[in-house]
Chains A and B, each alone.
Chain A
């Protein structure tokens, strides 16, 4: 096959530290190429170099036999290379149609024509998005769809997708895979970054694996299986650590949380359950089953119904938090599923973010903050949770997903909680960091804390949980012991 894009000896240094180190990479015409690796392995930097977002320190890019150099994304786009980012780059105050044609406007534009063309494009891609809606009104999945449509509209020859399926529902994922196959059929080459290894195995023709800024292996997908990918990604065999069989469960300690007949709008409907100390309580449910909302009510992130809203008893005392601050002060830590929006201050350093956890808990007691304390706390938690960054005072935005998640966890754990609620703790996190985060969760339960893990990923729930609660239509409908649960039983309870 003819390579459309070649990277030769590409290196990118940040402050002398290589983010990509001497990588040779080839993308063939009309192929789907999956790029796998742990967070921080260098995948995003490599693709950003291809898309002109980042300039390489060394090496060269060859596009259809021509040596090229991109100084910005517009230059790459002109050459037919488009990138669909994990965080969408749409203008939130403009409509979908306006966003699609942004940068391609004619001298005189007729909005109606733009909407008609946008509608046709979106329909041809099977995306159910209204082109007249402003982008800020869209959900994460729909924003992703607009981004993809924009790449298709620009007639890109190479499209780079960075974690495109993380926010999509199973139905939307199916359409997305069909779209990729269509694009491939039209001769478009696709680079696909995903932490969901099953997706990489399903959709790609070739897989390239990166580790520690280097390219480890690049081969046809047929020559890989899940285990070999993980082994190449982390340099050790993690399969059993990650999703091995559970042999024992922790006994229940004291009842820390008792939720009785809780109601919140149409999302939480008369749900009742308990959480015990010294145990990991897994909560599984399909999207829309109300599991996140239930625990957000518990943590004061959202309010329960004002009339007949039920009862929440925390440490033998009825509580009704209207904001998270009193919940934090009394020992409830909720670790959000959307870390980028609610989890951290992205332009602040690791230490400052963790220190924010201290300030949130002791908000009335202190008027002055201490830089020394902030640094020492940052140092302590970086070591404790093995938070890796290029520089000690790196901003959180510069960290990989796994390390960002560890910062969010550290920010909550520093508050000495009695109940820790992890909502999708390993979403968008690479396998190596998944194992580390799982270890953190287990350690908390071993130390006697009450731990709740909400996850849509069944193997994770089954591996971690001592008891599993299944949520359906706004209430907990089933409870399983960690040893007796099977994927079939849990899935059956979550649907029927």
Chain B
């Protein structure tokens, strides 16, 4: 009863959970065109994740294949799996690739090993992994209710079933480190062994310790995803879609959301996207404002490209953008490779190349 009253009050005053405010991109997050103007290093369909192996090779997950790509952008298939790869990480002297429900070890001393996670504890939404100094693998699972490709459904369903897991290959043991996360997407272990994850629907990065999640960077203006360590100290964070007031509003309109999900094709939902603007009947493409007598096209951004450089305390230092009018949107992974930053734009199916010396 009290909850209902509070909800009614919040809806009337536009406060609390009915507040649709979003933080602005300013300061270190001030928009630029660096991502949009970046050189294209590699293009392929179904690009998902990239990583650098212990011996310094660049690996790219593209659809069901894992590719090794050299400095010139020439690719060579090193593994082909049964299902699309959802996450890729370097592990010991080889690689681990995650598909829906399985971990596949590629190369190194565990080459060929597979781990099929029991269905009752795992719903196939692995989206990032990293190696822990103790030899285990830390895994982020976005949702326990929806598959990886159904992330918008999880967002619109107020998903909070994400988990961070720890898998030990030596005994095939899988432990839950933290659950009930609002879409865990991206994991990182620092030099001291502390575990961090991005909580996409919570718009924050959290440190997980003893079953508790503590915010280290919160109220992001977008949905954060994968994290990696930067060679010069600090971290790189990818933000795969922007927040905007319209989506925030829709997220609070339960009846509308459910009807939209039931009746409308997912590609036309009022929801963030990895790329947008390809179809004139997309939502939010027909908005307009009249300014000084001139009708100008206007629409809140559904997709955006953003990579944030964080310092050792997870505070933003600077950022790389592909703005609303650009195409290199839906950035889900980055890697530092031979003095350049490689940025994977899933929305544009491209890997972009930015010399590190140029971008600061």
Contacts and interface: CB of A to CB of B under 8 A. Distances in A.
Contact of A261 (B22, B27, B215): B22
Interface stretch (B11-19, B42-50, B170-178, B184-192): B11-19
Interface in B173-212: none
A310 B24 CA distance: 12
Interface in B10-44: 12-15, 19-24, 26-28, 30
A272 B23 contact: yes
Of B24, B245, B315, chain A has the most CB atoms within 10 Å of the CB of B24
A254 B312 CA distance: 12
B261 to A, nearest CB: 26
B92 interface: no
B80 interface: no
A254 B15 CA distance: 25
Interface stretch (A35-43, A60-68, A134-142, A301-309): A301-309
A313 B19 CA distance: 13
B13 A467 contact: no
A471 to B, nearest CB: 13
Nearest to B18: A308
A315 to B, nearest CB: 11
Given A260-B22, A316-B215, A252 B12 contact: no
Nearest to A312: B21
A485 B161 CA distance: 46
B19 A316 contact: no
A276 interface: yes
Contacts of B30: 479, 481
A177 B19 CA distance: 50
Contact of B26 (A274, A310, A313): A274
Q: What interface size band does chain B fall in?
A: 20 to 34
A308 B215 CA distance: 27
A251 interface: yes
A253 B28 CA distance: 9
A119 to B, nearest CB: 37
A309 B23 CA distance: 14
A255 B315 CA distance: 8
B24 A273 contact: yes
Given A260-B21, A261-B245, A467 B219 contact: no
B360 to A, nearest CB: 11
A273 B22 CA distance: 10
A276 B24 contact: no
B215 A260 contact: no
B283 interface: no
Contacts of B219: 258, 313, 316
Given A251-B317, A258-B219, A261-B245, 10 more contacts: A252-B315, A252-B317, A255-B315, A260-B24, A272-B23, A276-B28, A306-B13, A311-B21, A479-B30, A481-B30
The 6 closest A-B pairs by CB, nearest first: A308-B14, A260-B21, A272-B24, A311-B21, A261-B21, A252-B27
Interface of B: 12-15, 19-24, 26-28, 30, 215, 218-219, 245, 313, 315-317
